[in-house]
Amino acid sequence: MPQPAAPNPQQQQPKMPRFNLNWLYLVIIAGLAVMFFQNSWGESNFDKEVSYSDIKTYITQGYAKEVVVDKAKGTISLVIDKAHIRDVFHVSTDQVGASPTVSTRYPSTDKVEEYLTQAEYTGKVTYKETRSVLLNLLSSVLPILIFVGLWFFLMRYMSKGSGGMGGIFNVGKSKAQVIEKGEGGTGVTFKDVAGQESAKQEVQEIVDFLKNPAKYTNLGGKIPKGALLVGPPGTGKTLLAKAVAGEAEVPFFSMSGSDFVEMFVGVGASRVRDLFRQAKEKAPSIVFIDEIDAVGRARGTRNFGGNDERENTLNQLLTEMDGFGTNSGVIILAATNRVDILDKALLRAGRFDRQIHVELPDLPERIAIFGVHLKPLRLEPGLDVELLARQTPGFSGADIANVCNEAALIAARHGSESVGKQDFLDAVDRIIGGLEKKTKIMTQSEKRSIALHEAGHATVSWLLEHANPLVKVTIVPRGQALGAAWYLPEERNITTKEQMLDEICATLGGRAAEELCTGHISSGALNDLETVTKRAYGMIAYLGMSDALPNVCYYNTEEQFHKPYSEHTAQLIDTEVQRLIAEQYARAKRILSEHAMQHDALAQLLCSQEVIYAEDVEKIFGPRPWKSRAEVIIAENSPAAEEPATTTTTDAETITTTTTESTAS
């Protein structure tokens, strides 16, 4: 059940170094050359096959400088002493080279060692294991492979380093991205940050600290050293930090927490040192550490091995923050989306002692953000920006940027002159649900059970007061899903237990419908069950919403792999989760069987149309008698609401217009 709640932020892939293939060829050629020479070195320059008895004679007569026994080949060879070359080969020394050999196959039954001791041979004996051709090849190729691997690693490292010649010799240097004011500053101002009014206000104080430090220190106050920007991904924390530097016209040193965590011991700590040294040189300045949780995760948790290096880095960071005086003019901003997992030492007074919350944009803020990202697009005249903002609850600034870009691409694909409303709505659907797969082949019975499942969601959610308002239901495969019920979640500030239960019930409506109408349940409910289980667990373990475990929050803070409750409680939580889900499943089935006719009608309509909208559902069930949150807000803020004697007609009109507009996708 996709909801426009939390579209995944695009993970930025680290750029792979551009690898020059010519180098690879060079390495391979060099390797082949080495192989060739190795082979020719391995062969002795002169070898004469003789009989086994001759060999024995040469040994006893002391002609052999060295005996080479090759057990695998079954040969025995003698390296003939220089003095006896003429006796054996009947030629002069310069004709046979430095170490000519004679060799023979020895009978496998004959024990060579025994013979050598018997003959009182005291010279050098070498036992050679001739390997198979494959092994031989491998042994010569393996070092090359290792070499090539090492090369790749080096190249990667060099390109990761601060560029140019630096490379591996500079691993300990900070990789900070520096934007200095002399070069136009970050060029970002608060005007570029759409929405985020309260965060901007808080951050304005920091700008003032940087601009007029004396104003504060004259009265004996201390300027804070750091502030933490807290908020979900894509909300513009980096942009806000840049804007602080831009507004204060100071250099901006930015680095990501994951840059500190390297495979070499001590690198992280030395990067921290280097970063702060640079920042102090250019003070007043801003140091921005993105994803600080990568280094700042609480220490001493029983993680799986190897976080010593991270701890070193964190300790260095703490030391640096304590080290410079309050008047050094360096202010550190750090971004994270999880304050709860940060080491408490980071949050103590004198370090990141203030937190600035950057939240997902609300409706007016989304309108402002759309305004920013719509500017470069050629739009259809009269495009309703508010409609777009209303269709995108839970979207971050980055998601909205993505919607605008996607819409432009969709419009271009259709060969449109401008980007229109439908392009945007399609882009939103695509970002929530993934690509449509119209070519997927379905049998009639599969299609029917998908339709029954989705109609189940539609029916249950329509009939429950607190369930999310339905927008449409589709049985067009999209992304991972074969069908979906689309809602427009209300942007509530708090959620009641009843609202959560209704939501769970509606989510279980899909499987309940399958079971009721086909007698079979299917794997299709996987995502629904996942959502429901997570929500039920949250209600019981975190929100204290069950009678068996009232008013307790077993929130996992520090120990990430350790449940913060007893085994007994664990069992209670499990049974309560199961009970809650079972109750809501039974409730969904009851609702569906009480409205079996309407449910079936919906499923049939869905089968023939593939998409049905809230209006279609309304035609079957009649209008929902409950006001939406938006309607309540409008009613409460309309001038009529102040007078007790409100005419019902105005309210009714408001309801109809909002409903039609919000479902007009």
* CA gap 538, 532 in Å, rounded: 10
Q: Which residues contact 565 (CB under 8 A, 6 or more apart)?
A: 541, 554, 573
Residue 69's H or E segment, with its range, is strand 64-70
Take residue 513 and report the two structure tokens written for it: 């419908």
Contact 663, 612 (CB under 8 A): no
**Residues in the chain, how many?**
665
Query: Which window, 296-304, 328-336, 480-488, 490-498, contacts ligand NHX (CB under 6 A)?
Result: 480-488
Query: Which window, 255-263, 337-345, 420-428, 523-531, contacts ligand NHX (CB under 6 A)?
Result: 523-531
Question: By C-beta, is 431 or 473 nearer to ligand NHX?
Answer: 473
Q: Which of 425, 421, 474, 477 is nearest to 613 (CA)?
A: 474
Question: By C-beta, is 282 or 589 nearer to ligand NHX?
Answer: 589
Question: By C-beta, is 82 or 437 nearer to ligand NHX?
Answer: 437
CB-based burial label for 48 (10 Å; 0-12, 13-18, 19+): middle
Q: Does 484 bind ligand NHX (CB under 6 A)?
A: yes
Specify which residues 104 forms β-bridges with: 76
291 is catalytic: no
* CA gap 365, 603 in Å, rounded: 38
Query: From Zn ion, ligand NHX, none, which one binds at residue 480 (CB under 5 to 8 Å depending on kind)?
Result: ligand NHX
Q: Give the single-character DSSP code of 335.
A: E
Question: By C-beta, is 185 or 524 nearer to Zn ion?
Answer: 524
Interface positions, 353-382, toward ligand NHX (CB under 6 A)? none
Among 247, 291, 293, 528, which residue interacts with Zn ion (rule: CB under 5 A)? 528
Question: How many C-beta atoms surround the C-beta of residue 96 within 10 A?
Answer: 19
Question: How many C-beta atoms surround the C-beta of residue 539 within 10 A?
Answer: 21
Q: How far is the CB of 442 from ligand NHX (least distance, A)?
A: 10
What are the distances in angstroms from CA 387 to CA 372, 637, 665? 16, 20, 10
Question: By C-beta, is 420 or 456 nearer to Zn ion?
Answer: 456
CB-based burial label for 562 (10 Å; 0-12, 13-18, 19+): exposed
Q: How far is the CB of 445 from ligand NHX (least distance, A)?
A: 12
* CA gap 83, 9 in Å, rounded: 81
Specify which residues 103 forms β-bridges with: 49, 77
Is the bond preceding 100 in cis, omega lying within 30 degrees of 0?
A: no
Among 368, 369, 482, 580, which residue interacts with ligand NHX (rule: CB under 6 A)? 482
| List 454, 514, 515, 576, catalytic entry | 454
Query: From ligand NHX, Zn ion, none, which one binds at residue 483 (CB under 5 to 8 Å depending on kind)?
Result: ligand NHX
| Secondary structure of residue 103 in the 3-state scheme | strand
Q: Does 573 bind ligand NHX (CB under 6 A)?
A: no
Among 262, 290, 343, 528, which residue interacts with ligand NHX (rule: CB under 6 A)? 528
Q: Does 523 bind ligand NHX (CB under 6 A)?
A: yes
What are the distances in angstroms from CA 195 to CA 60, 370, 387, 494, 648? 99, 10, 17, 22, 36
Question: By C-beta, is 225 or 457 nearer to Zn ion?
Answer: 457
Among 527, 609, 628, 654, which residue interacts with ligand NHX (rule: CB under 6 A)? 527
Query: From Zn ion, ligand NHX, none, which one binds at residue 484 (CB under 5 to 8 Å depending on kind)?
Result: ligand NHX
Q: Does 457 bind ligand NHX (CB under 6 A)?
A: yes
Question: By C-beta, is 268 or 510 nearer to ligand NHX?
Answer: 510
Among 257, 361, 433, 510, which residue interacts with ligand NHX (rule: CB under 6 A)? 510
Among 4, 210, 510, 663, which residue interacts with Zn ion (rule: CB under 5 A)? 510
3-state helix, strand, coil in the chain (%, to 5): 55, 10, 35
Q: How far is the CB of 437 from ligand NHX (least distance, A)?
A: 9
Buried/exposed 552-561: b ≥16 CB within 10 Å, e otherwise: eebeeebeee
* CA gap 279, 329 in Å, rounded: 9
Q: Find the distance separating the first CA and the last CA of the chain, reported in whole Å.
A: 17
Q: Does 515 bind ligand NHX (CB under 6 A)?
A: no
Question: By C-beta, is 257 or 510 nearer to Zn ion?
Answer: 510
Query: Which window, 96-104, 206-214, 525-533, 582-590, contacts ligand NHX (CB under 6 A)?
Result: 525-533
* CA gap 550, 302 in Å, rounded: 30
Among 501, 512, 524, 540, which residue interacts with ligand NHX (rule: CB under 6 A)? 524
What are the distances in angstroms from CA 246 to CA 187, 191, 252, 271, 462? 6, 11, 8, 24, 50
The amino acid at residue 26 is L
Q: How far is the CB of 180 from Zn ion (least distance, A)?
A: 53
Q: How far is the CB of 584 from Zn ion (least distance, A)?
A: 14
Q: How far is the CB of 522 from ligand NHX (least distance, A)?
A: 6
Q: Does 533 bind ligand NHX (CB under 6 A)?
A: no
Among 290, 454, 515, 616, which residue interacts with ligand NHX (rule: CB under 6 A)? 454
Query: From ligand NHX, Zn ion, none, which one binds at residue 523 (CB under 5 to 8 Å depending on kind)?
Result: ligand NHX
What are the distances in angstroms from CA 243 to CA 180, 184, 650? 13, 13, 45
Question: By C-beta, is 237 or 448 nearer to ligand NHX?
Answer: 448
Q: How far is the CB of 500 from Zn ion (least distance, A)?
A: 18
Question: By C-beta, is 250 or 485 nearer to Zn ion?
Answer: 485
Residue count, binding to ligand NHX (CB under 6 A): 18
Q: How far is the CB of 280 from ligand NHX (least distance, A)?
A: 53
| Secondary structure of residue 64 in the 3-state scheme | strand
Query: Which window, 30-38, 128-136, 191-199, 479-487, contacts ligand NHX (CB under 6 A)?
Result: 479-487
Q: Does 439 bind ligand NHX (CB under 6 A)?
A: no
Q: Does 135 bind ligand NHX (CB under 6 A)?
A: no
Among 39, 118, 189, 480, which residue interacts with ligand NHX (rule: CB under 6 A)? 480
Positions in the binding site for ligand NHX (CB under 6 A) = 1, 450, 453-454, 457, 480-485, 510, 523-528
Per CB under 5 A, residues contacting Zn ion are: 510, 528
- Residues marked as catalytic: 454
